[in-house]
Each structure stands twice: as C-alpha cells, then as structure tokens.
Amino acid sequence: MKNFRLSTKLLMGAVVASSLALSITACSDDDDDDEPAIPIVDPEEQTTIFITSDVTWAGDQIHYLDKRTVVTNGATLTIGAGAIIKGAAGSEADAKPLIIAKGAKIMARGTAAKPIIFTAEADNIQIGQITGTSLGALDRGLWAGLIILGDAPTSPKAGATDRVEGIPASVAEGIYGGSNPNDNSGVLEYVSIRHGGVELVPGGGNEINGLTLGGVGDGTTINHIEVVANLDDGIEWFGGSVNTANALVAYQGDDAFDIDQAYSGTITNIIYIAGKDGDHALEIDGPEGADNPNGKFTIKGGALRGERTSPKGEYVDFRSNAIGTVEDLYFFDFKPDADVELDADDDDKDQTVSMNYRDGDLVMRNCVFNTTVTLAEISADKANPTLTGFDFDTEFANDGNTIGTSATNFDKSQFVGWTWADANNLLNNF
C-alpha cells in the first residue's frame, strides 16, 4: 500500500514553478550584472501550503499533513473513502491543521465500510483498520485539526466576519462569515478525527478544536462525524447555518459540543462519552455583535454519558446571550453535582441568559437525567440578583425535563461499525 506525503509534493511543485518564473525574468537582461540573487526557498522551511486548484487524495491510501495546509482560491479537495490522513506534530506557530477557506470545498465522502480517518502521525493505524494500537483515549494534542470556513452569517463582536482561532494573522484565509446562509463548503460523511488539538500559546488555554466550523452554510453536508481525544473542544460551530447529523465526541479535554456567535443550524442524534478531563457536554454562547443577532440553534436527540469522577464534567453551560433550543437528550453517569447553568459574567452577574430563558428565546425541554438528585438540584440560575418573577427550577420542570432511566429519540446504530468508539466497545452502555 502506498503512502503519500502530498504536502511536500505540492509545495515542491509550487516552489519549482515560482523559481522557474523568477529565473526567466532575471535572465532576460544579461547586461544587468547588479541584479540581486534570487532566493530559492527550501520546501522544508515553508510553514503553509496553499492548494489553489482541484486536488484528489485517493481512497485506501495514507496521506500526510507535513505543513499547515490551506485549500483556497475556490479549489476543491476530494478525499476518497478509506483514506487515512495523518497530521504531523507541531504546536503554536508550527501547528499543521487542514484549513478549507471561504469559497473552497472539501469533498470527504467516507462510508460505514470505509470511513475517512484524520489522526496523528504517531498513530500506527493502517489502511483497512478502524483503530491502531499505539494511541489511546488520553493521547491528545498530537496534531492540529480540521477547520472549515464559509460565507454564512455569524455574529462576532464587530462586523460580519471574524478570524478563526489557530490561524496566524499572516494567513488571510483565516477569515470566515458573510451573508450567504446557503453557502456550500462541501461534504463530510463518515469522518473520524482523532488525537488533535495542539496548543497555540505556551501554557495552554488556546487550542485547536477537533472540527472547527466557522460561518459554514447549510449548503454543506455534514453527517456521521466522530471526534476522539482532542485537547480542546470536540466540535465547535462559530455562527453559520450548516446542519449536522449523527455526531459523536469522546474524551475531549474541554467541551464536547460548543456553539458560538449565533449558530443557526440543527444538530441531531449526538453521542457524548466523557473522560475525566472533559468540561461541559454542551457549551452554548449566543450572538456577540449586531450582525445576525437572532441566529438560533437546535440540538435534538442524543445520549450523553458523563464521568462521575471528573472534577468538572457539567451537563450544559448556557452563556453570553445564548438563544436556541435543546431537546430530547438523555444524560447519564454524570457526577451528582453536575448542573444545567444559566451562566452570568463573573464581574457583573449579567441577567441576559436568564432573560432569554424566561422569554422563550432559550429553551431546554423533554430531556431526561439519570441521576440520584432532584431536578431542582440540576437547574442553576447564576444571575445575581435573579429576575423578579422568574424561577428557573419551576420553568425547567415545566418544560418537560425529568429524572429517569431511558433515552428518547436516539439511534446509536448510526455509529456502529465505523467509529473508534464502537471498535473500543464504548457504545455498549448506550
């Protein structure tokens, strides 16, 4: 089976073409003896590869990300079913994510029999395997991650566009967001992303997500996605309107499913498998600025397993003007003091999230919590003072949330046969 370090090949071609063009220009005037020498850049010293025309990475082969790789200029990167993409190590400025810029596309159509797997170069997985033997659930941050950026509406603090986390300011293709909710960034189907999330600043606190979706429109197809052992969040939506179905996150180092900047799509049939380092199963932020202030998400259907010994391990954190709907989720094995929190800024105890829940702009309903505590011990309103005439405990119960032992509206069969989680027998309790 052939393995390909496509990044080096692409970069060599770009450097050779540029060098030839420069050489022809420089040699056109033989009388100019004072012309400075043309610098020839060693491909090994490049930090970013730009894919500017359509490229196919064949299925049933291993491909390597040796550099930060940006698909841009309207190009399409096609990845065949059964392909394995291994990312090289490197943190901070040396991180090596795969970035699909605005206007470009990724066409990654795996199948249940042949998923497309993004993983670390240290993973000894081979073609035809679902897992290797060299890495486990605690092996995080060994490469960067997958970043897709689109032209759909988002709500950053200022303006209609923003720069994605993890991309240096010198890379113009790090911008996302726009005015086209139907923007199409391609297809992700039966894709597993593992062991990513390198640190971007010394000491942590700023890492790359397993899958980052910035301003991705609903013309994009995303279903059957797995993110395992990522150092930061599993999947994060920064605005956009793309719908996501059948998504699994396991053993992340921060939040599992994270929503920001008025994401307005629908997420259905999710699984969460927590490790001891996981923070929130769901972390939800709303619009940050004047653009797209009414974008509302929906999360519907799924089962989420906590970790009883986790020092963090909360159910849901609604923060920063969160608006949208969470419904029909089943939570189990979380620590007894885990909560669903209407968060407030630590300094001014802002009441905005509580107001949104009171006014029906934020709703959590028909969710089941398998726990030994009462429903009132789960619902936590952090506003100080609380809103006059609003009792979150009462509203939470009135919205059909209950204590129970059975899941509703959930189909784990969508994750059987192709996921790392299934191969490691982690779906047995669902």
> Domain-by-domain residue ranges, the chain?
1-28+36-46, 50-423
- Contacts of residue 306, defined as CB under 8 A and 6 or more positions apart, other chains included, come to 274, 278, 281, 313, 315, 331, 332, 333, 334, 335, 338
What global pTM score does this model have? 0.90
pLDDT number for residue 275: 96
List Cβ neighbours of 296 (8 Å cut-off, separation of 6 or more): 262, 264, 323, 324, 325, 361
Question: Which residue, 86, 88, 80, is CA-closest to 113?
Answer: 80
Fold entry, domain 50-423: Pectate Lyase C-like (2.160.20)
pLDDT, one tens digit per residue, over 128-156 is 999 999 999 999 999 999 999 999 999 99
Look-up of token digits 């901070």: 92
CA nearest to 340, candidates 351, 331, 352, 328: 331
The model's pLDDT over 247-294, given as tens digits with 9 standing for 90+, comes to 999 999 999 999 999 999 999 999 999 999 999 999 999 999 999 999
Q: Which residues of the chain have pLDDT under 50?
A: 1-2, 4, 6-43
Ordered strands of the 280-285 beta sheet: 48-51, 68-71, 98-100, 146-149, 211-214, 235-238, 257-260, 280-285, 314-319, 340-342, 379-381
Distance CA 295, CA 379 (A): 24
The encoded tokens of residue 91 equal: 């943190």
Assess contact for 195 and 420: CB atoms under 8 A. Answer: no
pLDDT of residue 91: 86
Look at residue 384 in the predicted model and tell me its pLDDT.
87
369 with 403: CB under 8 angstroms? yes
- The reported pLDDT for the residue numbered 204 is 58
Say how many residues make up the chain.
430
Residue 11 pLDDT: 39
